[in-house]
Chain A
Amino acid sequence: MKITKRKAFRTLAGPIWAENPISIQMLGICSALAVTVQLKTAIVMGMSMTFVVAFSSLIVSMMRNWVPRNIRILVELAVIATLVILADEFLRAYYYDISKQLSVFVGLIITNCIVMGRAEAFALSNPPHLAFIDGIGNGAGYGSVLVTVAFIRELFGSGKLFGIKIIPESFYASGYEDMGFMLLAPAAFIIIGLLVWLQRYLAGD
């Protein structure tokens, strides 16, 4: 059987492109855009998100046969909150300056609809290994949009990537200027809108 036909592969690849949580399903845009001024923060945010979705899906899926249906939301919230606190404290301990830049946005992963959405829609009705893969796929799909937006904003906004100057000095000498607008909030909204358009166009929708 070809690898692209396997269920695990489709579970992983679906959310990255065809069912991307941000650009197609419109989930979890909150907190996604504020961290996209720099690539570094966007990648860290994407990784924290992947960690939280993957493990919350795994844990919810492992508990799915024991937890009574009417208190499941409470249990899911407790699992998610614990994982977010772990991620937050980890960043605070080992990457303090990045954690300062991300400020409240790591904490806001708790209320991100993607995590709760995957727990409800997928993990409750699928075995743990698939739920884990689905979580990684959704985290990666979320992260890929974040990184694309951050790439555009950092490159055009400050001429840098990962804090290193990319646009050569000769450009500036001949009159090129950084687009300060890219660093402001409105640019993030407009870039996301255009990315959605591009993806729907490419998907032939």
Chain B
Amino acid sequence: MSDLVNIFLNSVFVGNILLAYFLGMCSFVAVSKNIDTAIGLGFAVVFVLTITTPVNWLIYHFLLAPGALSWAGFPDMDLSYLKLVMFIVVIATMVQVIEMMIDRFSAALYSALGVFLPLIAVNCAILGTSLFMVERNHTFWESTVFGFGSGVGWMLAIVTMAAIRMKLRYADIPKGLEGYGITMIVTGLMAMAFMLFSGITL
């Protein structure tokens, strides 16, 4: 249990998918101008990551990993080179399915997240989390917690950033540094603050 808590804390703070591994930067820079859209996109990322990471774990461990197909009578099969394609397909499909389900069951949630869901299919944080999950040999539950934690960490970063950028509108920033440049520097300072959490274990 404490393992899972540690994985969660680590993926939210120290190993933040955005601030420590630079994943999901494109949508981070583009969508952090407004705090409401940032919250919407953040929730959508948490949602998609929590579902796709364990699904990709199942796909990897029962279809692709070396020896994974032994249940079907092919113990020597190693399809792990297909993982990139499979993960992308799973993510795109899951995003589509989730979009349809939200549309069917919750109109309010759909109007809040709907526009962001297609964007997420190409967010590198989603694919990156699945690839890290394979590289770090997580178990099924660990990968679920890892996916959820990464999503929460990403959301924390983008919402904080949106709040800071709202304040930055009143700042007198040198010409040429406005917009993109200052966003990167502020992200750097945020990353520094998040590094203070390193070494915390429960």
Contacts and interface: CB of A to CB of B under 8 A. Distances in A.
A26 B184 CA distance: 11
Interface in A183-201: 184-190, 192-194, 196-197, 200-201
Interface string A88-111: 110000000000000110011011
Interface of B: 19-26, 29-30, 81-82, 84-85, 88, 122-128, 131-132, 135, 174, 176-177, 180-185, 187-189, 191-192, 195
Chain A: number of interface residues, binned into ranges: 35 or more
A81 B81 CA distance: 11
Interface of A: 26-34, 77-78, 81-82, 84-85, 88-89, 103-104, 107-108, 110-113, 116, 184-190, 192-194, 196-197, 200-201, 205
B25 A193 contact: no
Contacts of B88: 77, 81, 110-111
Contacts, number: 122
Contacts of A103: 135
Given A107-B131, A111-B127, A193 B177 contact: yes
B70 to A, nearest CB: 23
Contacts of A31: 22-23, 124, 128
B185 A108 contact: no
25 contacts: A26-B26, A30-B25, A31-B22, A31-B23, A31-B128, A33-B25, A78-B85, A81-B85, A84-B84, A103-B135, A104-B135, A108-B23, A110-B84, A111-B126, A116-B122, A184-B195, A186-B192, A188-B22, A192-B184, A193-B181, A193-B184, A193-B188, A196-B176, A196-B181, A197-B181
